[in-house]
Structures are given as structure tokens and as C-alpha cells.
Amino acid sequence: MAKDENLKFDNPILKKLDSQLGGLLAEASSEEDFTGKSGQSTILRLPGLGSKRVGLIGLGQLTPCSPPVAYRSLGETVAVAAKAAQASDVAIVLASSEGLSAESKIYTASAIASGTVLGIYEDNRFKSESKKPALKSVDIIGLGTGPDVQKKLKYAEDVCSGVIFGKELVNAPANVLTPGVLAEEASKIASAYSDVLSAKILDAEQCKELKMGSYLGVAAASANPPHFIHLCYKPLTGPVKAKLGLVGKGLTFDSGGYNIKTGPGCSIELMKFDMGGSAAVLGAAKAIGQIKPPGVEVHFIVAACENMISGTGMRPGDVVTASNGKTIEVNNTDAEGRLTLADALVYACDQGVEKIVDLATLTGACVVALGPSIAGVFTPSDDLAKEVLAASEASGEKLWRMPLEESYWESMKSGVADMVNTGGRPGGAITAALFLKQFVDEKVQWMHIDMAGPVWNDKKRAATGFGISTLVEWVLKNSS
């Protein structure tokens, strides 16, 4: 059960439970010095109940105005406790839910359910031995029942399935998840929801015909050929009110190329997560395929490849030409993600979309600026910023709008081409975003999300599934 820091056992369900235990629940919580502060939890073994354990979980100072996503941590904590206790059945009751509106109760139940589902999940695909969680059922008590609740819980389930799919893509090692395998996984999504999703996979020759020289330059060194992925969602019925593009960076492994990643902190062993942007886009595609929102057409685009080293590889100083005709002097082969995104963004604009959001593990500079939990947002559009930031708030994912300082473009000028692919060290996340801006039609609203920090949880040594929930929320807002 969850308890607010400012509240005692004023909930009628808790009062009844404590009464059945002869006051032992309140007494035990007092002895454990449990005050309900955020992050506090304790498991009590108490007699006289059908259940063997009662857990107390602190949520801090929540009010009826607190966003429902604040309760997601409750679900995650319950899941961790359930796994530790090998519990098969769990019931959750809030110490105080009387002040919540009917709508807030529905969203709160959904947030708790999401936290529990994602908290109980473990990716053990690559372990020789693993235990399956014993948890079979979770009852959320006191937050309502009926079709509205069930509809919201189904939505939470669909989004969670997309998040778990995205996590598994990022967690998979690079020898398992090659560009070809990523394309296969994308095609499976389209096949599973073929009533609303279609797939087009372009090979290197087809990309060459489209003059994607920037993308193909990055892919040139790898023994694993590139695969350009395009999924398209169209609603079952009714008119299309909005056409959206979601573009994800799809480097299934990034060695850095000839500017190879070396030295302490380079994290080359983790560069399987350099396709985190594509995982967000494809995880969102899976969720959208299940939810089937009306009134919106969505294009999910990934330029998948590896950045490797070989005699056929791109060299520092080479000049490549993107599909919009702009030329790029490659002054750093380890700034490859933006080169692949350049052609992906041009392709997205060619689909006639009105708004584009791209996601990429693009720069270490953004991690230095915002830390490991917050993604940077870059856009010239205030309207699009409001839309996506509202979606992130609803989903509980942290975004922060960064300046798109045009004067910094001066550092991106080349003596032999239209631009270089990296500027100086100062403002590296900003100049990276300015580079991408060169490949977006001026009529299209565009946003770049640098998710290099929150793509990975160092403590858990696993992917976070970041971005998927926000993208789904944003797409649904555009469908209504």
C-alpha cells in the first residue's frame, strides 16, 4: 500500500485493515520509522491476513494536483518488492485517494499499472539461466472500475509493449542486432498490424538511386549492408487531419570509424545503444499499430547501418553529398549519426509530412549539459515545442528545450564543401542540431531530440525505453 508523507491511515480501506490487525499496521510502521517520504519502503509480516506480507511505500508530498505519472514510481517499487518476495498476487491501495477526480483516478491507475509492468520486466534473453517473475496479478483498489478504466489500462498495456520492444532492441548486442535484423524487426511490426501499417525497406542500391550519399558514406566500411526502413501508419477509416514524421538514428554499432573511440570513458562497448533513436521510433510504431488512432498518418523512418573501419570506409576529409544536394566535408567520422539523419530527414520531408520529430543519441555534449536523465530538445517552432513538451509531461519523460543559436553555424563552415559535420567543442549539441536543420524543408515544423543521456541506465546496465511514451502521446494528441 502507498502512503502520503503528510497522511496517517485516514483511508477507510487502510483503517479497516489496521482494525483487523488490532492496530499492528500503524504500530509496525511507527516502529519502522516509516513516514511516507518519497523513496521509503518497508515490508511487514503481519498475522491475521490472507496475504503473507504488507508493504508500505512512500510517495512523498502528493496532492490531488500531482500529475498521475508521479504514481508510476509506486508501480515500479511494487514490482521490485514483488520480485524480491517472489509474490504471485499483489493488491495496491493508496493511503489517500479521496481528493482525486474521477479522471485523475483513471490516469493514476494507468500510471501505477505502467510502472508495475515495466518494473517487473527483465531482459534475460542472453543469460544461460534466469528466473521468471512469479507475479501473476495486480489489483489496484479504490481507483474505480468500468469501461473508462479498462480503456485506459489497455492503452497503458499497448504503450508498455512498445517500450519493452524498444528496450529489447537497444539491449541486444551488435552481433545480434545488425542493420538487417533491425529491418526484419520493423517488417514484423508491419506484418503484425498490417491493417494499418505498411513497410518499405530500401537496400544500398535503392538508396544510391535516391542519392543518399551522406548515409551511404557512413555505411561503406561495414560488412553488414545498410537497410533504410520506412513504416507508414494510415488510419482504418476517416480523413487524415495530420501527417507526421518520426525519424530515429539507427547506428546498430558505432566504432567511431577512423576517428575511433579510444580512451577511458569512450564507452565503445556500449555503442550498441547508438540505435536508441530508432528503437524509440519503432517502439512507438508498435504501440500505434495496436492503438490505431484515427485522423493521423505517421511515417516511421530509420537509416540503419554500422559505423566501422575498413579499406572501403569513409575517411576524415572526405566530401559526401546528401540527397538534397548539399555537400559535407567529413572532419570527424565519429560524428556519423547526423550524416545518416541528413538523408533520413530529406526522405521524411519528401513524404509530405507537416511535422517531424527526430530522435538520436547524438552528442556527448548534451549529456554534459543535461546529465543522464534529461533529453535536449531543439526546434525553431514554439508550437511544436509546446506540443511535444506537453506529451513528455504526460508520459513522465524528461525533456528540456535548448537554444538553437544560429550564430554558432559559423563554426560549421567548410573551405571545400557547403559545411563540415562537426564544429568546435563549445555548444556541440547546438551545432549538431543546426547541422540537421539544413536537411529539413522550411515549410515543415521540425524538432530534434538528443537522447544520448537517458537512453541507458548505468545502474541497471540496461536500456530505458526512453522516448516511446512521449512519441505515442504526441501522435495521439495530433489525432484528436
Catalytic machinery residues: 261, 338
Residue 256: closest CA among 195, 376, 337: 337
C-alpha cell at 415: 573551405
d(CA 5, CA 103): 23
User: What DSSP state is assigned to residue 425?
Assistant: S
User: What DSSP state is assigned to residue 287?
Assistant: H
Within 127-255, strands assigned E span 137-141, 197-202, 227-233, 242-254
- Torsion angle, alpha carbons of 368, 455, 197, 348, to 10: 20
Residue 464: closest CA among 271, 189, 273: 273
- Torsion angle, alpha carbons of 150, 151, 154, 159, to 10: -140
Within 344-435, strands assigned E span 355-360, 375-378, 399-401, 419-420
C-alpha cell at 295: 485522423
Is residue 304 within 8 Å of residue 252, measured between CB atoms? yes
Identify the H or E element spanning 41: strand 41-44
Between the alpha carbon of residue 365 and those of residues 232, 234, 361, the distances in Å are 33, 37, 11
Terminus-to-terminus CA distance in the chain, angstroms?
A: 36
